[in-house]
Every structure is written in C-alpha cells, then in structure tokens.
Amino acid sequence: MLSRLRSAGYDAYLVGGCVRDLLIGKIPKDFDVSTRAHPEQVQAVFKNCRLIGRRFRLAHIHFGREVIEVATFRAPHHQEGESLQHEDGRILRDNVYGTEEEDAWRRDFTVNALYYDSVDFSVRDHVGAMADIESRTLRMIGEPSERYKEDPVRMLRAVRFAAKLDFSIEPATQAPIKELGGMLKDIPSSRLFDELLKLFHGAAAVKTFHLLREYDLLRQLFPLSDDYFKNNIDSSAERLVLASLANTDARISEGKSVTPAFLFAAMLWGPMLKELEGKSNKVPQYQAIQVAADQLLAKQLQYTSIPRRFSVMMREIWQLQSRFEMRSGKRPWRLLEHPRFRAAYDFLVLRANVGEVPAELATWWTDFQECEEPAQKKMLKKSDAPKRRRRKPTAAKKIIEV
Ligand code: ATP
Ligand code: MG
C-alpha cells in the first residue's frame, strides 16, 4: 500500500493514531496514511479507491471490509481563498496541500503527528512528540486557544485522548477549555453525535465522563443532564450513568456490542425523572413517560442529533420500566416477548443497583426469565397492586407507581 504510492513517485507514511498506539503498546483501531499525492493522484494508483469529503477531501482505499484512509499533506492557509475560515476562527474547508512538515503542524496534538516510514522503519517527529509519548502528555500543537477556535471539537478530542490513552493534559492545553467550551454550540449536531460515540464507546467512558465534568464540557453535550447532576449531588441518576458507563467499558473490552440508545437512555434518565415529576399523578404512567420523553428529546436534539432508530429505542427502554411492576396474569410473558425486553431489563438492573427500585424486583425478573413455565406460574403475583409501605415518594419511585 505504502510501497505502491512510493513506486508511483509519492512519499507516503503511516500517520496519526496508529503510530501513536503502536508506540505506546496498544493495538491500533485503524491505519491512516499521509502522502504527497493529491486525492486524484491516489485514485489513479488504486482501482479500489473512492474520494470522499468536502470540508476535508480524502481517498478511501477498500480492501474487503477494511478501509485505509489516505490524506494528502495539508498546509496551514495564509492566502485568502485557499481555505474558508469563519470569522470566529473556525476552519470550514481545509484542502490546501503542503509538505510533510506542514502537515504535522496542522494536526491537533503532538502525539497524533508522528509519521512512520515503512522504507527505513523510522519514526519522523517534527513536533517533539516522542518526548510527550515518553511522559504520557497530551499537548496541543501551536497556540492552544487558537487551535480550539479553529475547531472546537478539539476540546472534546483532548478529553477523549486523555481518557483513552491515560495521558495527562498539559497545563497550557487545558487552560482555555473552560472558557471556550461554549464554542461547541456552533458545531453541527450530527458531528457532535459522532464525537459522542467516540467519547463513550472507546472503552474509557467512566474516565471520559469525569473529565467532561471537570472541564465543564458535559454542559455542552447534555446540558439537561449536567444541570440535573449539579442540582442533585450524588443522585441515583448520576450513579446510574456511572454504572452504565462502567458496563459499556466492560462490554467493549470484551468485544461485545453496545447501543447508543442505552447510553442516551442512561445519560438522560435524571432529566427524565424531573420531567415526570407532577405528570405521573395526572395521567396513566405510560402516557406520562411518552409526554415526558417527547419534551425531553425535543430539548436534547437542540444540542446533539440522535438518529431516529436510537431515539425510538430509548423511549422503549424508558417506557418498559413501568411494566416491570406488573407481575400478575399474562403480562410478564408479554413483556418477555417485547423486542426491547433485554435492553429494558438491563436498565432495570442498573436502577436496582443504584437503589432506585427494590433489588427484589430485578431479581424477580432475572429468575422469571431463567425458569420454566410451571415455576414461572408460581412466581406470579396475585395482583399488581400490593399494599405498599408508605414511604416518602421520590421521583424515582413515582415511575414505578401506576
Ligand atoms: P483514534 O485511534 O481514536 O481513531 P486518531 O488519532 O486516529 O485516534 P482520528 O480522529 O482518526 O484520530 O484522526 C486521525 C488523525 O487526524 C489524528 O491523529 C490527527 O493527527 C488528525 N486529526 C483528526 N481530527 C483532527 C482535528 N480536529 N484537528 C486536527 N487534526 C486532526
Ligand atoms: Mg483513527
């Protein structure tokens, strides 16, 4: 791959995340290539090549299911008309080609700007990255606040890499984040959604969550959740988020699948309880959840997009919570057959683990799934309205009261 570009007369290197990961002993997720060849020239060398992107034009070379991303060396843009820059400093288009060294300087963090030369097996470092790898430091290339203004998503990337690589963020790189965080509101909500998935599905979600809060960036992504956590210190809803993120990390490390719907359902559970307050007494529970979910999602969608298939599933996870209380007649079997039972049950277990519903309820459902029909019949409750001990109703409790 690199050698084909070289034979065609173009310098080409492995670059970015894969070189960094190899140097710190991690397995790279994918391989990126950087070359002097322009996208059209890359396309001329490889039949299996497609050009993509407008803001940032790239060549994708397909090998079966693998895709290798080939980017042309970029330069900073000095002359007008070469790139499009918004008045607040954001770069809207970035297709000015340059040299390898210029390409290194326009990358975000030093450790992401290393080039691996497959001809002499050397690592080329233009920005002092090796020293930062040694000391496990994440350092912005250039003047941090300018670089964040060019692309505010770099603030989220700082947190993501610090968490994932277990690096510390160098002080000058940290410093502007709190002040500039608000610039994320101008980023298209679909890009924020993509970035969110990278933040929380990179096997370091718990640490990421703590860092997002530390730098006051959670406010930019999930303002309603952030408010809820700030107003309700150590709430069960926050513990539920942490438990679900720990779960996500474990699943990803074991190579199991995860769904963004679950992440969003957990993250927005606190605001959901707040929306539900006062509603549950007036209308049936399922209706209250529906209305609350509508209102909440309308607000959240102003910040991050959530593709419809995931928002539908989130609603189902929430909605089914009210049905776990119904443990008589045919209802438990009907619930078991619901396509979203598994996700909703996992959510119930989390709620039980953080003390939001009795542990007995989750255990009952665990047992009910596992035993045969005769035993299941014995487990059924006589009615769904058992006498409740009078306790101060909490928001969390209201949701299970029909
Ligand atoms: P990961 O392993 O999570 O994919 P990565 O370092 O490969 O990490 P990518 O988002 O795949 O990250 O980007 C590839 C490379 O492109 C980065 O290493 C960095 O050099 C450069 N890059 C990506 N996004 C930006 C950005 N917003 N600003 C500057 N450089 C960037
Ligand atoms: Mg990558």
- At residue 321, the pLDDT reads 94
Measured CA to CA, the distance from residue 226 to residue 109 in angstroms comes to: 27
The per-residue pLDDT for range 357-385, each reduced to its tens digit, is 999 999 999 999 999 888 889 988 877 65
- Given a cut of 60, whether residue 298 has pLDDT beyond it is yes
| Catalytic residue chosen out of the listed positions 94, 103, 108, 249 | 108
* Nearest ligand atom owner, CA of 71: 1
- At residue 402, the pLDDT reads 40
The H-assigned helical ranges of 254-284 are: 260-267, 269-276
Return the DSSP state at 109.
B
Measured from CB, residues less than 6 Å from any atom of ligand 1 are 16-17, 29, 32, 107-108, 112-113, 151, 153-154
Indicate the pairing of strand 137-138 with strand 168-169.
Answer: parallel
Measured CA to CA, the distance from residue 37 to residue 290 in angstroms comes to: 54
Query: How confident is the prediction for the chain on average, in pLDDT?
Result: 90
The per-residue pLDDT for range 61-95, each reduced to its tens digit, is 998 888 999 999 998 765 444 556 666 666 655 67
Measured CA to CA, the distance from residue 112 to residue 4 in angstroms comes to: 24
Tell me, in angstroms, the distance from the centre of ligand 2 to residue 197's CA: 14
Region 191-210 average pLDDT: 96
Model confidence at 204, pLDDT cuts 50, 70, 90, reads very high
The per-residue pLDDT for range 320-362, each reduced to its tens digit, is 999 999 898 889 999 999 999 999 999 999 999 999 999 999 9
- Nearest C-alpha neighbor of 332 from the set 318, 343, 320: 320
Active site residue 30: yes
Active site residue 120: no
Tell me, in angstroms, the distance from the centre of ligand 1 to residue 198's CA: 11
- Nearest C-alpha neighbor of 130 from the set 104, 103, 157, 99: 104
* Nearest ligand atom owner, CA of 129: 1
Domain 1-134 class?
alpha beta
- Chain centroid to CA 194: how far? 7
- Given a cut of 60, whether residue 390 has pLDDT beyond it is no
- At residue 119, the pLDDT reads 86
Question: What pTM was computed for the model?
Answer: 0.89
- Nearest C-alpha neighbor of 17 from the set 172, 211, 160, 192: 160
Residue where the block lists tokens 């542990």: 359
Domain edges within the chain: 1-134
Q: Do residues 222 and 267 make contact, with C-beta atoms less than 8 angstroms apart?
A: yes
Model confidence at 285, pLDDT cuts 50, 70, 90, reads confident
